[in-house]
Structure 1
Amino acid sequence: MPRLSLSLLGGFSVRVNGEPFDDFATDKIRALLAYLAVEADRAHPRAVLATLLWPDYGDSDAMRNLRQSLYRLRLALDGRAPDLFGQTIEVTRQSVTLHSAAVDVDLRHFEKDLDLVAAHGHVALSGCSSCLGRMEKAVDHYIGEFLAGFHVEDADPFVEWQTIQRERTHQRALTALQDLALAFGARSDYARMRDFATRQVTLEPWREEAHQQVMQALALDGRRSEALAQYERCCEVLVRELGVEPATETTELYQAIRGGSLKAPPPPSVHEAEPDASTVALHNFPLFFTPILGREDETAQVLAFLAQPSTRLVTLLGEGGSGKTRLSVHTAQQLAETANDDFADGVYFVPLAAVTQPDLILSALASALALQLHERSPARTQVLDFLRQKRMLLVFDNFEHVIEGVALLQDVLEQAAGVRLLVTSRVPLNVLGEQRFRVGGLTHAGEDDPQPATLAAFLAYSGHRLFVQAARLVQPGFTPSPTEQRAIIAICRLVQGMPLALEIAATWVRLMDAAAIEQEIRRGLDFLTTPMRNLPDRHRSMRAVFDYSWQRLSASEQRTLAQLSVFRGDFTLEALLAVSDGGAVDAANLLDWALLQRVGGQRYVLHELLRQYAEEQLQQTPALAEETAQRHSSYFLDLMAREEAKLYGPALPQVQAQLRQSMDNIRQAWRWAASHGQVESLARSASGLSQLLSVAGYWQEGESLLSAVVGGGQAIEAAKAVACGAEEIRPFSCWLAVQHARFLLALGKLDRAQEVLPAALAGLDGSWRAHALTLQVDLLRMRGEYDDGLASSEEALAIFRRLKDRNGEAQALNRIGQIFWLRADYAQALDYQQQALRLEQAMDHPRGVAQCLSSIGLIHYKQSQYEEALTSHAQALTVARALGNRGDVARHLSNIGVVHIDRGEHAQASAYYEEALSIDRELGNRLGVAIRQTNLGMIYWNGGEFERGLAATEEAHAILVAIGHRSGEAITLGNMGVILWRMGEPTQALTRHGAALALDEDLGNWDCVARHLSNIGIVHADEGRYDEAMTVYTRAMTVHEKLNIPFHRCELLVRKARLHLLREEVDEARRLNEEGLAVAVQVGRADTLFEGRLLAARLAALTDPAAARQILDELATTTQRADAQADVLFERWRLLGDAEAAAAALERYEAAYAQVPDARYRRRMDVLGNLAASRRPLPSPHRR
């Protein structure tokens, strides 16, 4: 049995050697494995796999993501079973192949068993016991839909493949269950017949054939009352779900059961022979979740065309929304149920809706045929060679997109005589021999037809049924009265049964009854009743309906409707009145005509097809189009400026929700103003827009919108030129540059922000200057320039206080508190944050309150006051949840996770990070995803899962590189260095640390520079390169003296002291260690206190072993961590020669290494193990 097993039906799960396994770093790795397993034994080009899972990335980024995912998949599989990846998956520089013999997949068993049953030559399934058993085994595998509940973000091609697989598998399962029910019914095993029929009903409650089987099974089993009750349930489901009455067959079955005349099916034949006919197999066909309505005559006509030997190409023509695709699929399904040698090799569906270039038709066809193309001959030749000897039908859907590629179809017709084509298109193909068939409207009662006497008779018309079905989507339970039936009949006549038009009309039942809808439609289409009846089919389109509606509007109503086309999405009545010339009366008239729709209370929308039509009318009057766009832009930019203050207060959730409803219109307004140089309007709305986008976490979009304003992305040059140059607009231009810098900072583009801000500040004064200064503080803080940052924040504070701007004052106080926090002056930091908090509370600014609480939590955290930190962060989280601000929720969750990491509570930390990561993924916040992945990477490597931690950090790094977040790149590179060092890979660690150092030196992030230098020193010292270590430690110390951050400086002092001891420079080692310990006590840094005290014991042992013993005794009683206890025992043995301590230390290191395979533990274990074996004394404590 293969060691790797995949279960893809009902979800995604993996077993290795029979044990559950889920050590996959990302869902895309799971998706990659699932795809390779299903499409096994095929060499998949790397480029295809990269596009499948990363379609929105550039080619190089997508290929890098694929390489990383394959690497992580290898680590995961080989980590559970050596060389499992290599035995399962073959990877070359060009392709990836999964070998089916090495993997057990439930889907493969399901399909194989069904294929074997289909290939067996029995006369009837009921008479073939082996096939019955095999089919039962197959459906037992189907415990749920293919990859149920599994979703991959930002991978549309994979999702499309998943959907096709899901629908195909679902249909095969239903068919198998139906066949089993029929077979056991023929065997008079009615209990099992009922079981298989019931499983069909569970999968598809509206499946009428399944209800029939349940009824038959119950009745034949003597349970007549239950069978009759099943009929009632069937009726309820059909009416509720589909708006239809039961089929005649179902009603006749019910009557037979009720009358006691139901007969059992004939017994099975046990003779097995070759079948006398074969059915046609369908491939790659979509499934629809509601039945086709009507189209019996059309289906018969198309089938008749396909039955004619002289007809090789049939084109279904019609406007969008006329039902061409549904008719083509239904025709193929009908064809599949008959024995037809003309299509013995099957019917294949080739979707072209997503194909935009004619030369890609060939790839779509090859994919539908499941052809594996090679490079030895042209792809076109391979496909035509494959088709040349086939007897099949190819169904091409949505061909109008690629009409220029019709030559491929001509080649198929000329070179593959047994292949026929059924094509759907909005335009004819104009190919010799093309049989065109226009798809018209659905059936409805004519003027001379009598009123249907019953609901069932009314629903016998497909047009009537479609209206009722669509109405139930917006008003569940809708059942038309006789009066409403008459109105629906009239509506169907007016729109001539066009499906899309009926669906649009039916949506209005949420506001009015059918009679009112009819009346409003008639008001604009009265004289169409007779003329429309004689119009050719090509005029049966939404444009024809809109044309006539337009002609019947007054000039004022036409002007209003045209002006409303400038809106994107829905809009308020206030916006409507502000943008259009018409008033409420015109709006009401448009509502009456069903040209304007009311949605969600007091909001309105044009159907997109109608909006496009109206936009064409508007563009015919350029002056009106320009004036309307100006009004639209002014309205929404003024709205942003007007609502800005509310984005800080308690009404934030409501205002944010309202503005986000208008986001499409706000974007449209902004872009129009940007393209027309409306600098002042843009500037007055910029801070409101920035706040809205920042609250939502849409930093990338904010940067894009502002970049367009300041010169098509040339923000730096625009700011240097004082943005547009004109003195009167100078402050507006500079303010826009400041808002652009706000998003550059959020994305970590510090160098670009550094070039924008100084020039912009030079052109500002007053409140705008103060706000720009607070932004500059953020930049200076990120670059480690704390003195300048403090000066800027104090200048901003003075301006805000002079202007009595309490909101700005709170922001400035918060910035000052952050500077003191970074300097480890926690008393000052807390004082300023509490001042800011009191102001935010007085102004009733809940988001500002949460931000201050979060900052206070970080202050407590840095002082190891974990309970206080958790309390503050939890309060901030509660506020953010109440506001519905999910971006802030993710950030606060992450802060709580940091505290739990420091407390060694990795499980709790992981839970918080996972929740934060889930939120960021849903929001599409790539920066947030990268931060959470970085944090999760820390959890993994702190817990000893170094490979998993490295993979998570690499994934975060890839995102940060993609979005240009350079400071984040440096952080992840530094983390990789730490992980690789702990894994015992010093060379690779130095490479990562060196790259991180270069980045942060370029950015001016001096606190990070000091950290990287310190980490590089550790690696050199561990490798015995003391001179190199001393050089980088000295550089780091120089940076720390400039920064004056005691929290970090104390750690470096102790590290440098240890290095001096290794170099036998005892006095300097003692001096630095004592200084480091004093600072560590001052800032409350427990880890550095432990390391410094351990080093103090080593120094004391040189002259006073008793003092060393005392220090070690004290550490032994105060330390709790197992690895720290091992360190104390190791030093007791090394310094005092305690053999029992050596044995105990070895035992503890071995236990620690089993949990966390840290290279340092390994080195200590080697020393202790060698000594225990040789009984040699320990070398001098001055050396490693």
Structure 2
Amino acid sequence: MQGLALSPTPFIGRSEEVDEISLLLDDPSCRLLTLVGPGGIGKTRLATEIALRKEAAFSDGIYFVSLTPISQAEDLLTTIAEAMPFHFQQDHRTPREQFFDYLNEKNAKSVLLILDNFEHLLAGVELISDVLTATTNFKILVTSRETLNLQEEWVRQIGGMAYPQHHNGKPLEDYSAVQLFLDRARRIRGDFDLSADMADVVRICQLVEGMPLAIELAAGWLKTLQPADIAQEIQRNQDILATRSRNLPERHRSIRSVFTHSWELLSEKEREVFQKLSIFRGGFTREAAKVVAGASLNILAGLVDKSLVRLNAAGRYDVHELLRQYGVEQMHVANQATAIQQLYIDYYLHMLRDLETRIKGHGQLEALDTIQADFENLRNAWLWAAQQKQYAALGAAVESLNFFADMRGRYHEIVTLLRAALDQFPSTPDMATKAIQCRLQSRLIRLVLLGNMRIDFDIRSEIDTCVQVARQQEDPAEIAFCLFISAITAVWEENAHGVYTSAQAEDFFQESYAIFQELDDTFYRADLLSWLGSVTTDKGEIIPWDELLNPSLALRKEIGDRNGIAWITLNLADMMLGKGNYVACERYAQESLALMHEIGSLKGILQSMFKLAQTAMLKGDLQKARTLAEDMRDLADETNSLGGTVLSVGLLAFLICVMEEDYAEAAALAQKNSIISQESFFGGHDDMGAYWGQPTADCGMGHYEAARSGYEALFSERYDDLGPATLCLIIESAACAHAMDWQTAAEWLGLALRQPRWANGWAYHWPLVTRLRDELVHELGEEAYQAASERDVLDLETVIKSILDEANISKPHAKARYALLEPLSDRELEVLQLVAEGLSNREIAERLVLSTGTVKVHTRNIYGKLSVNNRTQAVMRATEMNLL
């Protein structure tokens, strides 16, 4: 090989690129291959490695030509000729004629010509085409920051070395960028501690996006700085990416000199556009480049050709982070930053505003994908607008962010953005500014509640203020929205804190629905119908959920609300589970999981997986249930989903009991999970760790009284719910066997095992059940055991009621008995008596000559004092306490 200087350091990584380029050079139709990429990306090093590995394939020679020393295209021919076994003669022919005569003579030769750093000699590119025309076996490998744009050219884009972008379980040392840093680090500091500094090494590789030159320059500072300090300095100023090494080429001694060389090759218009493009984060679209940076298609194409802008597989453009930082510097030098920033804010906040209609109907998925693709830009535009107190723009954009957060599970990120904006509002705003402030605050409250997030402010006080301000502004849409969130807050207060306000929630839901109906807002009407099933009517009745879900589903289909359809489907799964129809529950859960994946809803995916895991567990497919639960746990951990953690870990606690009989571990999980679930929005009503895992673990450890104390939580509204009933019967059987009541134990176990296999399949995998049956057969004999286990007993509901009565539990979710902290007033006792007689609020008002509103206030007070949430429970509690 002629002209090739061997590197003093080993070649690391790039195995895929080496293999791909080698295959291209083996292809007879590929005679001109250009490796294109920005300066410092490793094109020359890759080309030399290819040359070393392909030496045998080019029997007549590989010639390496460095073009860095020449500056004129006219010198290109002589530079190439001099690198080959050719000498110019003193005759009548021109140098060009002599060289091409030589090529014609050597036409059959198998030669690889490597032309390194071609970007500044593009004016002479025709020579390359002529050489290819004059030969048949010549192949040319070019490295350049810009494509040659010849018809014969094959282009291979060269990017950074592989580096960890997020945790995926792959060992960090397997990434070539990390390998390169570690190799250079150990040359500089033999004592470099991989384990102690690995996170900072990864951060350095991320900051430079795997650019080999930048990694080497960063590692060079290990004589003076720790990796954490190097990473911090790179974020502050890329000038740290420089070296004092004496044997590096001048152009590679600093990243700035590399980029300055590329900058100087640009036209004035290309420089102007590139510095404006540097404002984008996370990539940009062609439209954004045109509007914000004034980039025409030709200019954009030119910047792509010059490796300053990249086009990815999704059709978006981006800029290497270090190049972007260089562009930002140039933008500030040109005093363009303020003007470009405003164009950027306007573009992205207007995008959010314009996407609102599509998010709520047809085009929903595309709108959500648009926000997700441009989220980094939207985040920056939002924060800049907040810093500059552009309140109106924030108010117009917030609705789209609100629904993106919920539909895509991005609660924490959007809540952070909303809080950052709210921090910029004045302490005593004028009324118009106050209205915008409340608009943001009400969306923040919605996300805090639906995202199961920890709160550090008084939600009730804040949402009441929002309702008041909306009424003062006489803004019907905002009044309706704030009432909606006030109703959800009331449901949250009831479930999370035991503040019983169902009647209040119903009022807010109904008033909100009426306003949205008058506004002809189908999206919110459909959403409200779904929520109304969570509260009681003024007669203390619960509207059958399917009577609300089906109209809601029809409305969502009408407007194309894919997110809403997915959640209705999941609600139907939940409803089927509540009815004991586990087969239908599984079918709906499978449908909802597919829909949740389609819309990209993290929360929906987790809840659908939970329903599938639940049904799999119940019918005895424990390994499937466990796999789903573990996948849920990992996804919840990765995305910081409190709700997902509650669901997955709770289910795992029960499965560990049944599959492994590690009762101590299961109990610890259940107790930990119960604490976590108390922080969630609805108090963890699907918390199988507390409701199933804990009593199962207690039973396994022989703590039967503790296990019995968990019966109340197993049943929500129905005593004959087959899954919980099976668990209750098995625990009771074990307790009876412990007390040597063999007959009753056999009856309860027999009844548990006679339930349908889709509800008790799990029990056949629990070793405790097998041991219990063997013990009963041993004590009773096979024939007596069979007779007892098959004996006809009362219906399942009656049996469960009797067991709960024995355990001193009177009803599902029974609250602890206690004396009233605050007695009922005489008027409240009057109202309670009429409630017990079955009168509606309107009828009570007529009987007592009161307004309906006053009666509702009295009923709410009664619910609060009795610690109940509807009329039926109030009458039952009052009867227990001899108040009626």
Normalised by the length of structure 2, the TM-score is: 0.55
Identify if the C-alpha distance between structure 1 residues 237 and 1092 changes in structure 2 by more than 3 Å, giving closer, same or farther: same
Amino acid at match of 2:384: W
Contact 1:563–1:618 under 8 Å retained in 2: yes
Counterpart AA for 2:524: G
Q: Among 761, 781, 784, which residue is 2:467 paired with? A: 761
Whole-angstrom CA distance in 1 between matches of 2:397 and 2:511:
25
Kept in 2, the 8 Å contact 1:748–1:968? The answer is no
What SS does the aligned partner of 1:571 have?
A: coil
Match of 1:573 among 286, 289, 296: 286
Structure 1 position 898, deviation (Å):
1.7
Residues 1:664 and 1:954: Cα distance change in structure 2 (over 3 Å)? farther
User: 1:448-494 CA deviation, whole Å, 9 max, x = no partner?
Assistant: xxxxxxxxxxxxxxxxxxxxxxxxxxxxxxxxxxxxxxxxxxxxxxx
Q: Any conservation in 1 of the 2:344–2:381 contact (CA below 8 Å)? A: yes
1:627 aligns with 2:339: yes
State the percentage of identical aligned residues: 17
The alignment status of 1:562 with 2:275, answered yes or no, reads: yes
Paired residues of 2:579 and 2:721 also in contact (CA < 8 A): no
User: Pick from 402, 424, 427: which aligns with 1:690?
Assistant: 402
Q: How far is 1:740 from its partner?
A: 1.6
Equivalent in the alignment of 1:743: 447
Could you tell me how far apart the structure 2 residues matched to 1:1113 and 1:582 are? 76
Shift of 1:751: 6.2
Unmatched tracts of structure 2, length 5 or more? 1-10, 36-45, 62-113, 118-144, 146-157, 162-178, 197-214, 227-238, 757-762, 791-884
Q: Which whole-Å CA distance do the structure 2 matches of 1:956 and 1:1141 have between them?
A: 44
1:541 equivalenced with 2:209 (yes/no): no
Deviation at 1:1082, TM superposition (A): 9.9
CA deviation digits over 1:30-75, x for unaligned, max 9? xxxxxxxxxxxxxxxxxxxxxxxxxxxxxxxxxxxxxxxxxxxxxx
Equivalent position to 2:248, from 414, 430, 438: 438
Q: 1:293 to 1:965 in 2, by over 3 A?
A: farther
Counterpart of 1:775 in structure 2 is 485
> How far off is 1:801 after superposition?
1.4
Secondary structure, in 3 states, of the residue corresponding to 2:247?
Answer: strand
Shift of 1:852: 0.8
**2:857 corresponds to:** none
1:705 aligns with 2:417: yes
Secondary structure in 1 matching 2:401: helix
Counterpart residue identity of residue 291, structure 2: A
Report the CA distance between 1:630 and its aligned residue.
2.0
Does residue 731 of structure 1 match 2:435?
yes
Note closer, same or farther for the CA distance 1:672–1:401 as it changes in structure 2 (3 Å cut).
Answer: farther
Distance 2:775 2:685 in 1: 38
Cα separation, partners in 2 of 1:584 and 1:364, compared to 1, 3 Å: same
Q: Which of 490, 507, 522 is the matching residue for 1:806?
A: 522
Q: Is contact 1:351–1:396 with CA below 8 Å preserved after alignment?
A: yes
Paired amino acid for 1:775: I
Instruction: Write the letter of the residue equivalent to 2:470.
Output: L
Report the counterpart of residue 1080 of structure 1 in structure 2: 719
Matches within 5 A, 1:261-280: none
Answer whether contact 1:800 1:808 (CA < 8 A) is retained. yes
The CA RMSD over aligned residues, in Å, is: 6.0
1:807-826, Cα deviation, whole Å (9 max, x unpaired): 101111101123469x9978
1:903 is aligned to 2:619 = yes
Distance 2:306 2:54 in 1: 39
Indicate conservation of the 8 Å contact 1:934/1:952, yes or no. no
CA pair 887-859 structure 1, distance change in 2 beyond 3 A: closer
Give 1:1048's aligned residue.
716
Q: C-alpha distance in 2, partners of 1:926/1:354?
A: 42
* CA distance, structure 1, for counterparts of residue 730 and residue 363 of structure 2: 51
Please give the alpha-carbon distance, in whole angstroms, between the structure 1 residues aligned to 2:34 and 2:696: 59
Between the aligned partners of 1:363 and 1:933, the Cα distance in structure 2 is 47
Amino acid at match of 1:1048: S
1:459-498 matches, within 5 Å, as none
Segments of structure 1 that go 5 or more residues without pairing to the other structure are: 1-166, 172-200, 212-230, 256-291, 296-319, 327-348, 356-360, 372-394, 407-423, 430-434, 442-497, 499-536, 713-717, 987-1017, 1023-1028, 1041-1045, 1050-1078, 1149-1184
Contact persistence 2:303–2:309 (CA under 8 A):
yes
CA contact (8 A) 1:590 1:596 kept: yes
1:398-424, CA deviations, whole angstroms, 9 ceiling, x for partnerless residues? 355456459xxxxxxxxxxxxxxxxx9
**Hey, what does 2:171 align to over in structure 1?**
none
Shift of 1:830: 1.6
Q: Which residue of 2 aligns with 1:860?
A: 576
Contact conserved, 1:559 with 1:582, CA < 8 A, in 2?
Answer: no
How far did 1:730 drift?
Answer: 1.6
Q: Where in structure 2 are the equivalents of 1:822-901 lying within 5 Å?
A: 828-883=544-599, 885=601, 888-901=604-617
Distance 1:246 1:350 in 2: 20
Displacement after TM superposition at 1:797 (Å): 1.6
1:680–1:238 CA distance, 2 compared to 1 (3 A): closer
Q: In structure 2, do the counterparts of structure 1 residues 779 and 590 end up closer, same or farther at CA, with 3 Å as the change threshold?
A: same
Per the alignment, residue 137 of structure 2 pairs with: none
After TM superposition, the structure 1 = structure 2 runs for residues 94-173 of structure 1, keeping only pairs within 5 Å, are: none
Q: Distance in 2 between matches of 1:674 and 1:353?
A: 45
Give the Cα separation in 2 of the matches to 1:809 and 1:933. Answer: 35
Distance 1:574 1:616 in 2: 24
Q: Is the 8 A contact 2:657 2:697 kept in 1?
A: no
Alignment match, 1:553: 268
Provide the C-alpha distance between the structure 1 equivalents of 2:544 and 2:571, rounded to a whole number of angstroms. 13
The separation in 2 between residues aligned to 1:983 and 1:1081, in whole angstroms, is 24
Residues 747 and 788, structure 2, Cα contact 8 Å, conserved in 1: no
Instruction: For residue 743 of structure 1, report the CA deviation from its aligned partner.
Output: 2.8
Answer yes or no: is the 8 Å Cα contact 1:900–1:906 preserved in 2. yes
CA 1:636–1:1113 in 2, change beyond 3 Å: closer, same or farther? closer
Q: Distance in 1 between matches of 2:379 and 2:731?
A: 57
Structure 2 vs 1, CA of residues 573 and 1113 (structure 1 numbering), >3 Å: closer, same or farther? closer
Contact 2:733-2:745 at 8 Å conserved across structures: no
Structure 1 residues 351 and 846 mapped into 2: Cα distance closer, same or farther (>3 Å)? closer
State the partner residue of 1:938. 654
Judged with a 3 Å threshold, the aligned counterparts in structure 2 of structure 1 residues 573 and 1128 are, in CA distance, closer, same or farther, namely closer
Shift of the 1092–906 alpha-carbon distance from structure 1 to 2, 3 Å rule, reads: closer
Report the CA distance shift for 1:634/1:1128 in structure 2 as closer, same or farther (over 3 A): same
Q: From 53, 56, 64, give the equivalent of 1:250.
A: 56
SS of equivalent residue, structure 1 residue 761:
helix
Distance 1:559 1:977, change over 3 A: same
- One-letter identity of the residue aligned with 2:329: E
- The one-letter code sitting in structure 1 at the alignment partner of 2:464 is P
The verdict on how the C-alpha distance between 1:650 and 1:401 changes in structure 2, with shifts beyond 3 A counting, is farther
- Letter of the aligned partner of 1:618 in structure 2? M
Provide the rounded CA distance (Å) in 2 between the counterparts of 1:734 and 1:1118: 57
TM-score (norm 1): 0.42
**Aligned with 2:324 (options 611, 618, 621):** 611
Offset of residue 731 of structure 1: 1.8
Partner of 1:136: none
Instruction: Using the TM superposition, give the Cα deviation of residue 835 of structure 1 relative to its aligned residue in structure 2, in angstroms.
Output: 1.7
Q: Distance in 1 between matches of 2:690 and 2:786?
A: 34
Q: 1:1088 to 1:926 in 2, by over 3 A?
A: closer
CA-CA distance at 1:654 after TM superposition:
2.6
Letter aligned with residue 448 of structure 2 = L
Q: How far did residue 724 of structure 1 move?
A: 5.4
In structure 1, what is the Cα distance between the partners aligned to 2:54 and 2:622?
64
Would the alpha carbon gap of residues 1143 and 931 (structure 1) be closer, same or farther in structure 2, given more than 3 Å must change?
Answer: closer
Aligned residue for 2:86?
A: none
Task: Summarize the Cα distance change of 1:904–1:1145 in structure 2 as closer, same or farther, 3 Å threshold.
Answer: farther
Letter in 2 for 1:894: F
Sort the Cα spacing of 1:832 and 1:367 in 2 relative to 1 into closer, same or farther, 3 A: same
